Amino acid sequence: MVEKRKKRKGHELSNPARKKIRVQNQTQIQVPSSPPPSLSPSSPPCPSSLPSSLSPSSHPSSLSLSSAPSSSSHNWTNDVFPSFRGEDVRIGFLSHIQKEFRRKGITPFIDNEIRRGESIGPELIRAIRGSKIAIILLSRNYASSKWCLDELVEIMKCKEELGQTVIPVFYKLDPSDVKKLRGYFGKVFEKTCEGKSKEDTEKWRHALEKVATIAGYDSST
């Protein structure tokens, strides 16, 4: 019996394929994939609160939130602020994310009652700056909206100044198209920039380049 056990143990150690699989599994565990036992409205959502149909985008090196700057001294009033282009995601994809948040007991800020103008107003800026996490739903027509681009600039500013956690979701979109402003996304952006000041266009361009390098999620559905 003892010899048989030793032999089996030795076989496992000499099997490189099995050992390799174990190492791969250990690597996968480092990516947050399962929700904590409990989430209350006072607990900010983590990436695992997002729909299971999302997959980590391939370009970032890590999805860990531990590298986010400390924000314990800031008085957060919202759990989540979602930035999105309504015509792309409001009916299907966004409602799915909202459903997941409700299931976790998390209520994201929704700006349905805010009148939209040429630029984001003080009420929306307060909502962005008061949210511990910002989820940016980057879709094909996101850059067609000056409003969305202004939101993104404010969010990236909050990330640097307040330690806000930013989670980009690339919805039916290649992250490299956002970073390099190419393809359909790039064309839409250039059209939005027509007639706008150089200061505005440079701020938008810089914010898009930065958000494209943040660890996030891809969704093709």
Domain ranges of the chain: 78-221
Strand order in the sheet with 78-84: 55-56, 217-219, 165-171, 131-138, 78-84
How many whole angstroms separate alpha carbon 51 and alpha carbon 97? 6
Q: Report whether CATH 3.40.30.10 matches the domain 78-221.
A: no
- The closest of 218, 204, 203 to 167, measured between CA atoms, is 218
pTM listed for this prediction: 0.67
Structure tokens that stand for 69 in this block: 């700057």
| Catalytic, out of 3, 151, 194, 202 | 151
How many C-beta neighbours within 10 Å does residue 102 have?
11
C-alpha separations of 35 from 25, 48, 110 in Å: 18, 5, 23
Q: Give the Å distances, CA to CA, from 99 to 2, 9, 14, 103.
A: 55, 47, 48, 6
Residue 194 falls in the annotated catalytic set:
no
Tell me how far the alpha carbon of residue 174 is from its chain's centroid.
Answer: 14
221 residues of the chain, pLDDT tens digit each:
545 444 444 444 444 433 333 333 333 323 333 333 333 333 344 445 555 556 566 444 333 333 344 455 678 888 899 998 877 776 677 777 778 888 888 877 876 655 555 566 788 899 999 999 999 999 999 999 999 999 999 999 999 999 999 999 998 999 999 999 999 999 999 999 999 999 999 999 999 999 999 989 987 65
H-type alpha helices, the chain: 2-13, 16-29, 86-89, 93-103, 122-129, 146-162, 175-180, 183-193, 198-211
Question: What pLDDT sits at residue 220?
Answer: 67
